[in-house]
């Protein structure tokens, strides 16, 4: 600061000395510049000043001008009547929006959101019942006396509903069935195709068939074959460029859509995508003659989250707005396509579900619906529109998914209904649960179909592994209501509603004659007749799951109650049980399960002797040296339940039960060695074992694996029916065990000769006392379906007979006509029979625990057929 002042004054002084006063003399010479002053030293910084005191707050400003009033929000309630697309039984539409024109009324153009409150669904008194099962093998031979593997996978119908068309993949052909009389379908021929048919849909006079002609999984090819229904001739072929799966035709007949799956090789890299080539959607406009039709494609690459470059479209359906819904099963994705321009309207993940009270462990044991499965991907297969705004998916699963149910979505991709564990429970409650699939996808819903039958709207869901069709009332699409279950052949795949004829048609694809399975087309009629299936179902436990059951073998009546039956499950399940069945209900109700228990170590003592003494004398009545340690140990569980093979049951005179267990293995057969003898178990009323009885050694030495099948008590004796003739015998044995003397004697029974076109054998299945020395005996062959012949009930009289005598039998009833009354293929294993206190006779078939079996179980009251 000082330096600056000095420099300034010096400059001023110099300036003043140069400016003199003017005079008249000459101007003097200019003065020289002065010497610059020396810079002064920097001054020290001054101290910071103190902050001043804050000033007082100013006065509040004036209020602003009020804003303009907003638009009013309005709500409109409208009653809707029966037949409405959204509420078929009627209800209320709730619409909302802004009053744009400020007239205090909600105009249609102002509605921005609509919801519905539908009237409560009232299930119709009408029902669906099977009226026929058309065996596909009858196209080859009228009586199906042929071993050729056939199949009916996808089914469609002519527009008049009189002719069915189905795909037969193994034989690369299309099949035709005349259903002018639905109860008596007639084979109408087949048409050979240039590859494997994957799907079929009818439009006008033509059947459109997807044909897979791929050389392998990489070199894919396929076409859409156009078949004239009247002439059954090929009229055009449209190249699709890849391997087709599902084919659908729009309701207005303007479009055909084909899902080009280009499926992956499941043996390559554990079958996990991606695997080229990618699939896509093919659209065919159906204007003009078939030979002018061409296909265009919709690319699905880059859309999904899981395998974006391997979409694999699976199934397709089209609504009345010409919007196609497509499932991408392995990608757990759904895509909506506008067919007018091929644009993708929406796509979304099918999502996942959390399941409770399901059986998620695959073991041969009791069906245990006690587990939870979290985050299970739906991975939908079949799909069907429900009107124009909702659709339902059958959530079969494939890679790691399968939610064991079905789902209803809206077009926005929102879940409006999910079946949860309900299908799993209903399958178990009617004896159709496939325990061998527990660790996979359970009952495995495969496909879905929708139909409007008069005043009712129904959704049908095919369960592939339980071989059932579920029927739901969908008057309110967002709240499906279960109506009934229908039996089908093994592995139902395609489904078709034909409301104009009150028919539902379902194609079951599995076929193996040796396993007594034949592919069938099931035909159901919708009428006022009462539901015919199921014939038996179980009550639910306290935890909310049903009593699971299956593989019923023997039957017994309660001598004091004409409405009570008892049954047992065979060795398909472990921890064996005795069931109580109330026949006063329709269907009959399985009300209680009683485990057979070795609580007092009675059976354990028998096995302990066997394990301790492997040098048993030939005359020792125990005669258990044929077992090995593993066999015996496997028959006992830690909780005291047992693993035997209950084939017959009889209510004992003291209130307990007699249960016979069939032995396993044949003496001297190294391929089927003996690992269990035949036993009679005496239990108390609670199923606790009180006594274990085996056959004499001399009889055991001739054991055939077809042993004890039925049991009955009469006058201090227990009568046991052997199934087949054992070594050294001419006729099949009836064992008679005297409970007081603990001795055996034997009668012999002359079996009918085998009469089936497929050969086989004939044996006994059950025996029941008529309380006068007479018995009813159930005799059957080992054939099912079109091959079944011998299913008969005979009466025998044991009065006056002694050890070694042969009984005389009298035919009481041929039950083949009774088995055919269900309008399906007759079951092979009719294994249970009982005479009620009022004289009525019941029979039941063993469904093999739904293992290579449709699971169908017919509990039939034959009435009083003896008196």
CA dist 232 and 191 (Å) reads 7
Cα dihedral across residues 531, 160, 142, 521: positive or negative: negative
Question: What CA dihedral angle connects 615, 616, 617 and 623, to 10 degrees?
Answer: -140
Q: Edge-to-edge strands of the sheet including 315-318?
A: 315-318, 323-328, 333-338, 343-349
Cα–Cα distance between 92 and 417 in angstroms, integer?
A: 20
Residue 386: per-residue pLDDT: 98
Tell me the backbone φ, ψ of residue 136, rounded to 5 degrees: -60, -30
pLDDT profile of the chain (867 residues), mean per 10: 36 33 39 48 56 69 68 92 91 93 91 91 95 98 98 98 98 98 98 98 98 96 98 98 98 98 91 94 97 96 96 98 98 98 98 96 82 96 98 95 96 98 98 93 97 97 98 97 98 98 98 97 98 98 95 97 97 95 97 97 78 40 47 86 97 98 91 92 98 95 95 98 96 98 98 98 98 97 98 98 98 98 98 97 97 97 96
Give which of 804, 721, 790 is closest to 754, Cα–Cα: 790
Residue 362 · residue 371 · CB < 8 Å: no
For residues 693 and 631, the answer to whether their CB atoms sit within 8 Å is no
| List of residues 6+ apart from 31 with CB closer than 8 A | 17, 18
DSSP single-letter state for residue 716: T
The strand order across the sheet containing 73-80 reads 73-80, 91-98, 111-118
pLDDT of residue 46: 55
For the stretch 624-628, contacts whose Cβ atoms lie closer than 8 Å and that sit 24 or more positions apart, written own/partner, are: 624/677, 624/694, 626/667, 626/674, 626/677, 626/700, 627/674, 627/675, 627/676, 627/677, 628/675
pLDDT at 19: 34
User: Can you give the pLDDT at residue 94?
Assistant: 95
pTM beyond 0.85: yes
Question: Which residues, 6 or more positions from 197, have their beta carbon under 8 angstroms from its beta carbon?
Answer: 153, 167, 168, 169, 172, 173, 174, 209, 210, 211, 212, 225
Q: Are 422 and 540 in contact (CB under 8 A)?
A: no
Taking all residues of the chain, what is their mean pLDDT, rounded to a whole number? Answer: 91
Instruction: Supply the pLDDT for residue 7.
Output: 36
Q: What is the 3-state secondary structure (H, E, C) of 736-749?
A: EEECCCCEEEEEEE
Give the separation between CA 576 and CA 637, rounded to whole angstroms: 11
Q: Sign of the CA dihedral 424, 426, 427, 433?
A: positive
- Residue 315: other Cβ atoms inside 10 A: 26
Among 471, 511, 517, 467, residue whose Cα is nearest residue 493? 467
- Read off the tokens for 190: 């087949």
In whole angstroms, how large is the CA radius of gyration of the chain? Answer: 41
According to DSSP, residue 626 is labeled T
* pLDDT (0 to 100) of residue 56: 75
Between strands 383-386 and 371-377, the pairing is: unpaired
> Under a CB-based contact definition with an 8 Å cutoff, are residues 291 and 234 in contact?
no
**Residues 811/794, Cβ–Cβ less than 8 Å:** yes
* Count of C-beta atoms within a 10 Å radius of residue 171: 20
Q: Are 569 and 551 in contact (CB under 8 A)?
A: yes
For 147, other C-beta atoms within 10 Å of its C-beta total 12
Between β-strands 196-203 and 186-192, what pairing exists: parallel, antiparallel or unpaired?
unpaired
pLDDT of residue 668: 86
Spatial neighbors of 840 by CB under 8 A, at least 6 apart, are 562, 861, 862, 863, 864
Element (H, E) at 697: helix 697-700
Which tokens belong to 635?
A: 């028959």
The single residue listed with the structure tokens 């959704």 is 459
212-238 burial string, b = 16+ CB within 10 Å, else e?
A: bbbeebeebbbbbbbbebeebebebeb
Tens digits of per-residue pLDDT, 656-672?
A: 999 999 999 998 888 99
Tell me how many degrees the CA angle 617-622-628 measures, rounded to the nearest 5.
Answer: 85
> What is each CA distance from 146 to 141, 490, 600, 759, in whole angstroms?
7, 18, 53, 13
SS3 assignment, position 448? strand
Secondary structure (H, E, C), 377-443: ECCCCCEEEECCCEEEEECCCCCCCCCCCEEEEECCCCEEEECCCHHHHHHHHCCCCCHHHCCCCCC
Q: Which two tokens stand for residue 154?
A: 């996808």
Q: pLDDT value at position 31?
A: 45
Which residue's structure tokens are 């003009």? 288
- How does 697-724 read in b/e, with b if 16+ C-beta sit within 10 Å? eebbbebbbbbbbbbbbbeebbbbbbbb
DSSP 515-534: GTB--EEEEEEEESSPP---
């Amino acid at each position: 600061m000082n330096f600056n002042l000095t420099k300034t004054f010096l400059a001023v002084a110099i300036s003043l000395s140069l400016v003199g006063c003017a005079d008249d003399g000459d101007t003097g010479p200019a003065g020289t510049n002065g010497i610059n002053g020396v810079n002064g030293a920097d001054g020290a910084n001054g101290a910071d000043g103190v902050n001043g005191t804050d000033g007082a707050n100013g006065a509040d400003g004036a209020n602003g001008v009020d804003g303009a009033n907003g638009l009013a929000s309005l709500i409109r309630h409208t009653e809707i009547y029966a037949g409405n697309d959204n509420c078929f039984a009627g209800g209320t539409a709730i619409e909302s929006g802004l009053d744009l024109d400020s007239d205090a009324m909600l105009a249609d153009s102002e509605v921005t959101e609509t919801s519905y409150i539908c009237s409560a669904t009232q299930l119709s008194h009408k029902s669906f019942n099977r009226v026929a099962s058309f065996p596909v093998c009858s196209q080859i031979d009228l009586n199906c006396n042929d071993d050729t593997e056939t199949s009916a996978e996808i089914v469609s119908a002519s527009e008049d509903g009189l002719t069915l068309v189905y795909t037969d993949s193994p034989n690369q052909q299309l099949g035709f069935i005349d259903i002018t009389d639905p109860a008596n379908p007639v084979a109408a021929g087949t048409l050979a195709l240039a590859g494997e048919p994957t799907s079929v849909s009818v439009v006008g006079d033509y059947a459109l068939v997807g044909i897979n002609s791929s050389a392998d999984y990489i070199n894919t090819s396929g076409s859409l074959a156009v078949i004239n229904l009247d002439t059954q001739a090929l009229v055009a072929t449209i190249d699709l460029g890849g391997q087709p799966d599902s084919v659908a035709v729009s309701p207005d007949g303007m479009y055909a859509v084909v899902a080009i799956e280009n499926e992956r090789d499941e043996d390559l890299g554990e079958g996990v995508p991606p695997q080229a080539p990618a699939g896509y959607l093919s659209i065919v406009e159906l204007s003009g003659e078939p030979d002018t039709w061409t296909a265009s494609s919709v690319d699905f690459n880059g859309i999904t989250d899981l395998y974006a470059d391997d979409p694999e479209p699976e199934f397709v359906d089209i609504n009345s707005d010409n919007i196609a819904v497509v499932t991408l099963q392995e990608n757990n994705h759904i895509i909506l396509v506008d067919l007018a321009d091929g644009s993708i309207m929406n796509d979304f993940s099918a999502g996942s579900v959390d399941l409770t009270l399901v059986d998620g462990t695959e073991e041969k044991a009791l069906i245990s619906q006690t587990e939870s499965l979290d985050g299970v991907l739906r991975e939908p297969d079949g799909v069907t529109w429900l009107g124009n705004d909702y659709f339902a998916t059958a959530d079969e699963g494939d890679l790691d998914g399968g939610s064991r149910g079905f789902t209803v979505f809206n077009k926005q991709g929102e879940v409006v209904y999910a079946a949860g564990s309900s299908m799993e429970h209903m399958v178990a409650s009617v004896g159709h649960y496939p325990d061998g699939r527990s660790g996979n996808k359970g009952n495995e819903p495969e496909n879905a179909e929708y139909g409007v039958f008069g005043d009712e709207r129904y959704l049908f869901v095919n369960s592939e592994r339980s071989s059932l069709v579920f029927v739901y009332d969908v008057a309110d699409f967002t709240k499906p209501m279960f109506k009934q279950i229908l039996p089908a052949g093994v592995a139902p795949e395609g489904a078709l509603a034909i409301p104009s004829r009150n028919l539902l048609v379902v194609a079951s694809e599995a076929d193996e004659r040796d396993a007594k399975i034949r592919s069938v087309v099931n035909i159901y009629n919708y009428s006022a007749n009462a539901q015919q299936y199921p014939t038996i179902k179980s009550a639910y436990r306290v935890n909310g799951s049903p009593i699971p059951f299956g593989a019923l073998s023997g039957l017994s009546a309660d001598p004091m109650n004409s409405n009570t039956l008892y049954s047992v499950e065979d060795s398909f399940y472990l921890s064996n049980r005795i069931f109580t069945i109330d026949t006063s209900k329709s269907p009959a109700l399985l009300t209680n399960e009683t485990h057979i228990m070795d609580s007092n170590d009675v059976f354990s003592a028998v096995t302990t002797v066997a394990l301790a003494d492997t040098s048993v004398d030939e005359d020792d009545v125990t005669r258990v040296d044929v077992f090995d340690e593993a066999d015996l140990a496997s028959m006992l569980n830690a909780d005291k339940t047992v693993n035997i093979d209950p084939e017959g049951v009889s209510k004992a005179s003291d209130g307990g039960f007699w249960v016979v267990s069939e032995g396993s293995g044949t003496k001297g057969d190294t391929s089927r060695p003996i690992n269990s003898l035949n036993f009679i178990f005496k239990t108390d009323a609670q199923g606790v074992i009180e006594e274990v009885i085996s056959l004499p050694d001399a009889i055991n030495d001739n054991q055939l694996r077809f042993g004890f099948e039925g049991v009955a008590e009469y006058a201090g004796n227990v009568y046991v029916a052997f199934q087949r003739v054992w070594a050294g015998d001419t006729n099949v044995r009836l064992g008679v065990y005297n409970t007081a003397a603990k001795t055996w004697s034997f009668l012999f029974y002359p079996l009918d000769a085998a009469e089936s076109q497929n050969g086989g054998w004939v044996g006994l299945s059950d025996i029941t006392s008529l309380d006068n020395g007479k018995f009813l005996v159930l005799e059957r062959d080992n054939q099912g379906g079109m091959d079944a012949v011998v299913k008969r009930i005979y009466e025998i009289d044991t009065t006056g007979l002694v050890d070694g005598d042969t009984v005389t039998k009298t035919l009481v009833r041929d039950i083949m006509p009774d088995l055919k009354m269900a309008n399906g293929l007759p079951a092979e294993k009719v294994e249970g029979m009982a005479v009620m206190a009022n004289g009525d006779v019941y029979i039941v078939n063993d469904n093999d625990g739904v293992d290579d079996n449709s699971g169908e179980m017919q509990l039939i009251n034959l009435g009083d057929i003896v008196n």
